[in-house]
Chain A
Amino acid sequence: MTELLGGRSVAEIADAVIAGDVSAEAITKAALAQIDAQNPHLGAFLTVAPELALEQARGVDDKRARGQPLGALAGVPIGLKDSLCTKDQPTTAASRILTAGGITAPHSQTPVRPYQPPYDAQVVELLRRADAVLPGKCNMDELSMGSSTENSAFRVARNPADPNRTPGGSSGGTAAAVASGMTPAALGSDTGGSVRQPASFTGTVGIKPSFGRVSRSGLIAFASSLDQVGAFATDVAGAARILEVIAGHDRKDATSLPAPVPRYPQACGRPVTGLRLGVPEEYFADGLHPEVEQQVRTAIADLGRLGVTVTAIRLPHTGAAVAAYVVLATAECSSNLGRFDGVRYGLRSPGPDDIHELYGSTRCAGFGTEVKRRIMLGTYVLSAGYYEAYYRRAQRVRTLIIRDFADAFAQVDVIATPVSPTVAFELGSRTQDPLAMYLADVYTTPASLAGLPAMSVPCGLGRDSGLPVGIQLTAPVLEEERLLSLGAAVEQVVRS
């Protein structure tokens, strides 16, 4: 049964279902069998909905039997990060605040009456229209805050490459689902690296589109000027097919761009000869583990042999990116998370007769430590006396980082860097040092601050650890096609 799914890409599955070579129901059963076998240990999914998934799959098969055209993702099982609202499945963002009563018992993994959204996120609706099958909701760091999925209120997720290590975060469950073969693709979200870093840690492809390329409607917000829905897949072509489906303007998201959506899959086979690749020296300095550097530099050199021109560039304000990101993201989240107040949905603390006590006790009971820490930090940097010194200053640093990239893209077409300073780290190794966790986002936060599209593509295994390493490709705004062309070329050189 699992042979139906194992190793097949998004395109292979969809094309086979469309051609009638395999039924969507059979594919879905294979995916559910993989989930049954692996999820208890890996913790990739928080919620699995087998009956719903099979019903969707049978719907796809019925359409085909009636001769109706099928969507581009026909029969493809796609995991969804649990911060994406689904009207037929629970949505908790891995937080007790979106349950009616936390968890059933200490150390339980079962949320009590999880929140049930009355609507689908826009990207979920688009996946449904494309005839995808949605088997469940994936584990994550609580409310997208974290880099290891250890902040999930319900359970940790484990890296399929080494279950004693993290799959990354905050979209760690999503990455683990794809890397382990439970689903060939999944949707996550990326605010400061939460798609790209887990992709690098798990040996999957992960793309964060340009800010505004994909609607955020129905994505539970962390930082509204930074969040973007992103895609995981087993290959670049799969990511391209998903991006084509989910990209586009949405009137429900006022920040979504009206730009037309290119035929992204067609970018995957384009020759890359003559493409100018920039390599910033700031990303290859102290702190980068040698085994990561070796794999990334090897991939860059191999691209050079395909006719890509490699040029050293400078991004001088890279060192300030993490600090600017922490200020801005926590400031925005402290505002966004004000909506969790025990009034309209989710957890409400029993007892308080006073509205302010209700807010305070509900939020304290519902949020985990990292979420509280970020709310407090955001409140601080926005407070009177500190607003100019932190928040406004960080906004100015953001401008400098945007200018750095603009200057660089006057010389080059794409920028290549590591995704993370290390390979996947051991579970529990960084939970006591929140600052260390933040600093590890050094290579991914700049593209987030600048709103640029960026993608992690597997480029080999670390020579010491044997663990996956990803190369990050960054392009100018709305130039996802360049990423996909070059990403496909990386796959080509890595395979050879």
Chain B
Amino acid sequence: MDKPVIERDELRRLSRLAHLELDDHELDSMTAELNSIVAYLSTLEAVAVEGVPATSHVRLERLPLRPDQAQPSLDREAVLDQAPAATETGFAVPTFVDEG
């Protein structure tokens, strides 16, 4: 693997993926910082991992299932009370589906 360098445009693309609207100052400072960190992470290349399986979780290969039965959930009013904007039926957000 070639040593990657994160360009500022790449960082802007990543910020869109991450839903973070970074300003120019943040993009500038973070470009330098992330490149420094990523350069350090590249030291993992030196570790011999051929034939070594990946561990995604220390003790769980599959999450246990529970019976498919409805169970009590959170108090609706208490939950909606914490929402920045809510209607009687749920959380209120700007329209994002074209209803035309």
Contacts and interface: CB of A to CB of B under 8 A. Distances in A.
Given A323-B44, A377-B37, A345 B1 contact: no
Contact of A373 (B21, B33, B44, B55): B33
Contacts of A109: none
A324 B44 contact: yes
A345 B83 contact: yes
A59 B47 CA distance: 57
Contact of A400 (B15, B49, B57): B49
Contacts of B91: 343-344
A344 B83 CA distance: 5
A346 B82 CA distance: 7
B70 interface: no
A358 B41 contact: no
Contacts of A356: 19, 96
A323 B43 CA distance: 7
A363 interface: yes
Given A372-B30, A397-B49, A379 B14 contact: yes
B5 to A, nearest CB: 12
Contact of A399 (B20, B41, B52): B52
B100 interface: no
A381 interface: yes
Contact of B44 (A369, A380, A397): A397
Interface residues of chain B: helix, strand, loop or mixed (majority) = loop
A361 B74 CA distance: 29
B11 A376 contact: yes
Interface stretch (A142-150, A275-283, A301-309, A384-392): A384-392
Contacts of B94: 352-355, 358
A115 interface: yes
A437 B5 CA distance: 22
Interface stretch (A14-22, A44-52, A251-259): A251-259
Nearest to B78: A118
Given A389-B1, A397-B49, A255 B41 contact: no
A380 B6 contact: yes
A85 B50 CA distance: 42
B20 to A, nearest CB: 5
Nearest to B80: A344
Contacts of A254: 60, 63-64
Interface residues of B, number: 54
A309 B37 CA distance: 40
A346 B84 contact: yes
A320 B19 CA distance: 30
Contacts of A435: 36-37, 40
Output the residue of B20, B41, B96 with the most chain A CB within 10 A: B41
B22 A383 contact: no
Interface string B84-100: 11000001011110000
Interface in A383-432: 383, 386, 389-390, 392-400, 402
A226 to B, nearest CB: 9
A212 B54 contact: no
B41 A390 contact: yes
Interface string A198-225: 0000000000000110000000000001
Contact of A334 (B11, B18, B95): B18
A346 B81 CA distance: 11
Nearest to A403: B52
A118 B74 contact: yes
Interface in A320-364: 320, 323-324, 326-327, 334, 338, 341-348, 352-361, 363-364
A344 B96 contact: no
Given A118-B74, A326-B37, A477-B59, 20 more contacts: A100-B84, A115-B82, A212-B59, A255-B63, A317-B47, A320-B44, A343-B83, A348-B84, A348-B85, A354-B94, A360-B21, A361-B21, A372-B26, A380-B34, A383-B17, A396-B55, A397-B44, A397-B47, A400-B47, A400-B52
